[in-house]
Structure 1
Amino acid sequence: MSRPSSAKYRNDNADSAIDLPQPKDKHRKSYLREAQSASDGPEADEAAPVYPSATKTAIIMVSLYISIFLVALDRTIIGPAIPAITNEFNSIGDIGWYGSAYMLTAAGFMLLYGRVYTFFPTKPVFMSGICLFETGSVVCGASTSSMMLIIGRAIAGLGSGGIFTGAILIMLNTVPLAKRPMLQGLFGACFGVASVAGPLLGGAFTESKATWRWCFYINLPLGALTILVVCFMLKLEEKKPKLANWKETIKHLDPLGTALFLPSITCLLLALEWGAADYPWSAPRIIALLVVFAVLLVAFVAWQYFTRNTTATVPARIIIQRSIAFGGASQFCVGATMLTVSIYIPLWFQAIKGASAVQSGVNTIPLVLSVVVGSIMSGGLVQKIGYYTPFMILGSCLMAIGTGLITTWNMSTNSSMWIGYQVIVGFGVGSTMQHPNIAVQTVLPKHDVPIGTALLSLCQTLGGAVFTAVGQNLYIDKFTAGLERIDGIDPQRILGSGATDLTSGVQPELQQRILAAYNNSLTQGTFFAALIIACLAVPAALGMEWRSVKEKQVLTPATRDVEKEVSRIERSGFGGIAAIPRTGSHEKDVGELSLPPVRPPIPARNSLYRISAAQFSGDFSSYFHAKVNPDLRQEPNTRRQDEEGVF
């Protein structure tokens, strides 16, 4: 898990605030460039990228938002349609697969997509993901059997796995880093709106003449719009690593790593899907799934370590980078909290407040609006001041506080309380959700952004999948235990009822006790689990580096002119910048340029101090890399040799 040693990976990072230290050319040095490299900022040897016009950028970004909205919508829209689907296909035994098939392929192939985006052009890979997603939607909408529907869901999930990463990479090549936070925040707004709009649209389609099939057909016109915009308006100039042949390409995609990771994730999600709901946790099938998951995961990690110098799917330089590690933990917590509360809050309204399916969705509008406002407001403020870490800390705290307040809901909770508590949670989620992706673009070199983005997207997806299952299991366990304490009822019949039919056919004096047991199972089971994971988001946010999206340093045109002048003088036989003539035309050419004060090269005797002092400086990650990652330990020695070569 390391940086490849080949020079083809050492692309300049024009859109990132930091790059890995690169060995310098010993045979030919410029004192000016050496002095600038000592200022802790990356160099940009190439001209600044050219971005499209504002109008074209707006159209491209809208199409990307549509694609993200569809991917997020597809995770939740099928829920209200499942009863109608099972009635048509007589497939009650396949209910779990309708959601699992989508999540399995989406989560299982995310890391592979990150690798594909590293070596192949972004535009065709992104369009292939959209086409796969659209194909899966067509298969689902036209399905004539339960198996056909499951296959369609798997195909749609496979396509969705690469859409979010591709959208981030397109934005990276379309918008400058300092202007991305606001637009990145709208990605979070799309996720928030889709999480709540999915059940509403699913219920509306299912109960109308459109039928449940339009839960999938809705993707076709909107997805086609994205394909047209990307195809005809998007022009990307990328420099991807050049590999010798297809055999070398397949080798660098790490097929063995994928072969280990995919079944590992599959076993985990199936165990969570079936545990408690279909089989007890002590059942041999569940135990076998968890054991296979653990064994394959260990094998995957071992393989990544073994291939750290060559073809690892997740290089060590990425996963142990401080902001990536803590950002992934934050995404896991935020994804788990958001999806859990957005799924179970409507159920609480239906059961405890007697709201219909549509009205329960309307009652969650405060959650949606606060996510949107939090995403846009925090993105705008990050764009203004540059730093995203304080908003992650604030958002994580608000998310934990709001989730804790939701655990206090009871049958007498009034509207001002359930509206206010949702606003706190939503604003916290919105202020936190997308900033780790901004961190990826800030701290990683451009060629590592695809893998970093895919890793964070995987963490968010797994967080939602794992804790949705955990919340369901806790709800079933606590509700079952509560019902068993009530005499005169059949717990299994009530457990099989919908949220709005819990008390149908039950004696009036027992109805309030059943509702109290249901309320307790949600607030002290499902929502309490969400509270725990929301609290863990706070230390994850505190661990993020304080980096600014405005700290990218590039050579200005004036500095480039001076570099050209220095190179010309060196070619004429002078020794360096100190030898530039102080009189005549050269003095005039150089003196008119705006050149910042140049610090002298750092003496070799100070190189050891510079490395040891890194642990006390703001550049913690460089020190951490040099100490932990075995593939970067040679870099301090390389820099020391370079500096000694000056003298």
Structure 2
Amino acid sequence: MRNPFSKPKADKQAEEPVPTAPVVEATVAVTDTSTGKPEDVTTTKSNSLASSGSDVAKSELEDGSVGAEKVAAHGPPGEQPEGDFPPFRQQLLIMSALLMSVFLIAIDQTIVATAIPRMTDEFHSLDDVGWYGSAFMLTASCFQLLFGRIYTFYTPKYVFMLLILVFEIGSAICGAAPNSTTFIVGRAVAGTGVAGIMNGAIILMLSTLPLAKRPMWMGLFGAVFGVASVVGPLVGGAFTTDVTWRWCFYINLPIGAVAIVVVLFLIKPSPAVQSGLSIRQQLAKLDIVGQICLLPCIVCLLIALQWGGSVYEYSNWRMIILYLFFGLLLVGFVLVQIFMQNVATIPARVIRNRSMIFGMLHTFCVSACMLSLTYFLPIWFQAIKGTSAVRSGIDTIPLVLSLVVGNIMAGQIVGRIGYYTAMAWASAVVVPIGAGLLNTLNVNTRSPTWIGYQILVGFGIGLGMQQGTMAAQTVLPPKDVPLGVSLMMFMRQFSGAIFVSVSQNVFDTQLVSQLTKFDTGLSSQEIINTGATNIRGVVPAAQLPELLQVYNLAIRKVFQVALIVACISVIGALGMEWKSLKDKNALGAGGDGKKTTSKPSTPDEKV
């Protein structure tokens, strides 16, 4: 499929300041203001983020929007000569280090799932499971947009190394955590590092590889995510069963250290796009007030979701204060986005687009469904079926593998037919059916049944996972595409942070309410603190079948949450416009249906 960005470059035009927007999986954007008289064109000039040895003027680097995926595939103006790139062997070492970094952040999102039941045994903290995922995704999502701009202020090489170090520190804290609270802090620190690692990997690739080699390596970035999704639960289960769950995090340390050393010695430092700014000028370009409102706003919501109904009644004064602060901070964040458009995290011109609104809803729901199932299916296998951690990882392969297959297939189909909405509709049909079938699982469900259910729901999630991103690339003008895509990625991380906690609250509330109905000789809190896998050893054998039924019912309530958000995704799919990627390619427009004109490209501008 012809890339929508591969079109003649137009002269620079005056534009309003556009916030930078990093994208974890594929796109990094760097934007700034440029001056000059507007012309009758709708295209913008794209420039390299970090082109080592480039003679491009700073005014050119700051012009327009720069998408890393776009530049990676087609090259920036003033592309440096082949001889200015590192030698072939050095390129291999550098790209291997970057792929290792991407693999670390990808596997860290799934490796913990099969280790959680054993961790709850050691920490006596079954009611903290929601925070194990939410703390990581909270910081990864909230700082995602911030780090994209920071990359423009400082040398990308050193920012990238610092973020890997932050991730390593978080992993070390998790591995050595003596209690659940320390582990949660470690997950939050690791998520902070993850927020900017993928962006940095793509930026550094631009100064490492010539144009012709970039598409293959961009494909490898996606392949690494797919492989990590499959092997993560297996590796986590193997460590948990044969060594200790702590090695799920210690393993990050040597791999990350190798990546840092390779980047340090083999990559030449390239100047930052806005390297001359003072600290005050840098802060002026960041949505600091918005970030101050957003992070505590989400924290208040997560705590309220964690405590409500299980720890405190919803009418408790603590809950009222949490919801009050959540509401006030949310209003503050919205006001900042409205009245500080120059630095707003979410500009109004983007969020007003119909396909963007419904695409974000669809992405939010599909991701929420996926994360709820990813975290609680291993608990179902280990608690209900009595499997080991490694076995539960194997048992969840149908879900993850079918998700990867669905994702790849949807990309191929959209590339052929041009309409992303068709795949969003297909996902909105398949996912609710699969999630509904998972709600029928019981203690006696046989393997062919739960394998088939996982394949169905995983395939549906894969079909819909990228369609919000495709909508952003189709309906927005080129200069806003990176920002739109990054917002979709933000919704993906944000939904995980919220709904892992929601699922945990539903599980705890249901389990406590059911445990009060029969006498096991243990209090409800003692059973919860026992952990998912040790429950068979502390409950009398005669009462174990009944207790397993209670556990099964509580986990099925979580699957009902997944079913509800899967059904809501239908609204998002129906709301997205039927616009074709091919039409955008043909017209060179940002989804507005207007043919663009541009002046002839200069030799330096040709791709």
- Calculate the TM-score normalised by the size of structure 2: 0.72
Residue 380 of structure 2 is matched in structure 1 by: 348
Higher mean displacement: 414-423 or 277-286: 277-286
Cα deviation, residue 112, structure 1: 2.0
Q: Indicate how the Cα distance of structure 1 residues 148 and 446 shifts in structure 2: closer, same or farther if over 3 A, else same.
A: farther
User: Residue 528 of structure 1 aligns to which amino acid in structure 2?
Assistant: Q
> Does the 8 Å CA contact 1:129/1:163 hold for their aligned counterparts?
yes
> Does the 8 Å CA contact 1:440/1:453 hold for their aligned counterparts?
yes
CA offsets, 1:330-385, max 9 Å, x none?
A: 22112211111112112222333332332222111111211121122222333444
Structure with larger Rg: 1
Cα deviation, residue 59, structure 1: 8.3
> Does the 8 Å CA contact 1:440/1:452 hold for their aligned counterparts?
yes
Match of 2:144 among 106, 110, 114: 110
- What is the rounded CA distance, in whole Å, between the counterparts of 1:448 and 1:301 in structure 2? 20
Cα deviation, residue 432, structure 1: 1.9
Could you tell me the percent identity over the aligned residues?
42
> Does the 8 Å CA contact 1:165/1:450 hold for their aligned counterparts?
no
> Does the 8 Å CA contact 1:396/1:537 hold for their aligned counterparts?
yes
CA offsets, 1:9-54, max 9 Å, x none?
A: 699xxx99xx9xx99958xx8xxxx6xx5xxx74769996358999
CA offsets, 1:570-612, max 9 Å, x none?
A: xxxxxxxxxxxxxxxxxxxxxxxxxxxxxxxxxxxxxxxxxxx
Residue 426 of structure 1 is matched in structure 2 by: 458
User: Residue 410 of structure 1 aligns to which amino acid in structure 2?
Assistant: N
Cα deviation, residue 96, structure 1: 7.4
- What is the rounded CA distance, in whole Å, between the counterparts of 1:434 and 1:413 in structure 2? 32
User: Residue 255 of structure 1 aligns to which amino acid in structure 2?
Assistant: I
Q: Indicate how the Cα distance of structure 1 residues 297 and 169 shifts in structure 2: closer, same or farther if over 3 A, else same.
A: farther
Aligned: 1:282 with 2:315: yes
Secondary structure at the aligned position of 2:581 is classed as coil
User: Residue 518 of structure 1 aligns to which amino acid in structure 2?
Assistant: Y
- What is the rounded CA distance, in whole Å, between the counterparts of 1:373 and 1:62 in structure 2? 25
Residue 364 of structure 1 is matched in structure 2 by: 396
> Does the 8 Å CA contact 1:182/1:380 hold for their aligned counterparts?
no
Cα deviation, residue 398, structure 1: 1.6
Higher mean displacement: 156-165 or 383-392: 383-392
Aligned: 1:268 with 2:307: no
> Does the 8 Å CA contact 1:100/1:270 hold for their aligned counterparts?
no
- What is the rounded CA distance, in whole Å, between the counterparts of 1:68 and 1:276 in structure 2? 39
What are the within-5 Å matches in structure 2 for residues 139-150 of structure 1?
139-141=173-175
Cα deviation, residue 144, structure 1: 7.6
Cα deviation, residue 118, structure 1: 6.5
User: Residue 49 of structure 1 aligns to which amino acid in structure 2?
Assistant: G
Q: Indicate how the Cα distance of structure 1 residues 318 and 24 shifts in structure 2: closer, same or farther if over 3 A, else same.
A: same
- What is the rounded CA distance, in whole Å, between the counterparts of 1:387 and 1:178 in structure 2? 23
> Does the 8 Å CA contact 1:42/1:553 hold for their aligned counterparts?
no
Higher mean displacement: 246-255 or 268-277: 268-277
CA offsets, 1:222-257, max 9 Å, x none?
A: 334555676788899999578864422211102122
> Does the 8 Å CA contact 2:121/2:530 hold for their aligned counterparts?
no
Residue 298 of structure 1 is matched in structure 2 by: 331
- What is the rounded CA distance, in whole Å, between the counterparts of 1:71 and 1:207 in structure 2? 22
> Does the 8 Å CA contact 2:118/2:532 hold for their aligned counterparts?
no
Aligned: 1:316 with 2:353: no
> Does the 8 Å CA contact 2:358/2:573 hold for their aligned counterparts?
yes
- Calculate the TM-score normalised by the size of structure 1: 0.68
User: Residue 253 of structure 1 aligns to which amino acid in structure 2?
Assistant: L
Higher mean displacement: 90-99 or 537-546: 90-99
- What is the rounded CA distance, in whole Å, between the counterparts of 1:359 and 1:552 in structure 2? 47
- What is the rounded CA distance, in whole Å, between the counterparts of 2:569 and 2:142 in structure 1? 24
Higher mean displacement: 80-89 or 405-414: 80-89
CA-based RMSD of the aligned residues comes to 4.7
Q: Indicate how the Cα distance of structure 1 residues 282 and 190 shifts in structure 2: closer, same or farther if over 3 A, else same.
A: farther
- What is the rounded CA distance, in whole Å, between the counterparts of 1:130 and 1:70 in structure 2? 10
Higher mean displacement: 55-64 or 349-358: 55-64
Match of 1:49 among 75, 94, 104: 75
Higher mean displacement: 394-403 or 163-172: 163-172
What are the within-5 Å matches in structure 2 for residues 553-592 of structure 1?
none
- What is the rounded CA distance, in whole Å, between the counterparts of 1:411 and 1:352 in structure 2? 6
Unpaired runs of at least 5, structure 2: 1-12, 21-26, 48-70, 595-607
Aligned: 1:400 with 2:373: no
Q: Indicate how the Cα distance of structure 1 residues 495 and 334 shifts in structure 2: closer, same or farther if over 3 A, else same.
A: same
Cα deviation, residue 299, structure 1: 0.8
Cα deviation, residue 427, structure 1: 1.0
> Does the 8 Å CA contact 2:118/2:533 hold for their aligned counterparts?
no
Residue 73 of structure 1 is matched in structure 2 by: 107
User: Residue 191 of structure 2 aligns to which amino acid in structure 1?
Assistant: G
Number of aligned residues = 535
Match of 1:409 among 429, 432, 441: 441
- What is the rounded CA distance, in whole Å, between the counterparts of 2:472 and 2:203 in structure 1? 11
Secondary structure at the aligned position of 1:552 is classed as helix
Q: Indicate how the Cα distance of structure 1 residues 297 and 78 shifts in structure 2: closer, same or farther if over 3 A, else same.
A: same
What are the within-5 Å matches in structure 2 for residues 197-596 of structure 1?
197-198=232-233, 200-209=234-243, 211-224=244-257, 226-227=259-260, 240=273, 245-308=278-341, 310-444=342-476, 448-449=480-481, 451-486=483-518, 490=522, 492=524, 493-502=526-535, 504=537, 510-523=543-556, 525-545=557-577, 546-548=579-581, 551-552=584-585
- What is the rounded CA distance, in whole Å, between the counterparts of 2:95 and 2:531 in structure 1? 40
- What is the rounded CA distance, in whole Å, between the counterparts of 1:178 and 1:73 in structure 2? 23
- What is the rounded CA distance, in whole Å, between the counterparts of 1:502 and 1:148 in structure 2? 24
Q: Indicate how the Cα distance of structure 1 residues 541 and 355 shifts in structure 2: closer, same or farther if over 3 A, else same.
A: same
- What is the rounded CA distance, in whole Å, between the counterparts of 1:86 and 1:350 in structure 2? 12
- What is the rounded CA distance, in whole Å, between the counterparts of 1:402 and 1:128 in structure 2? 42
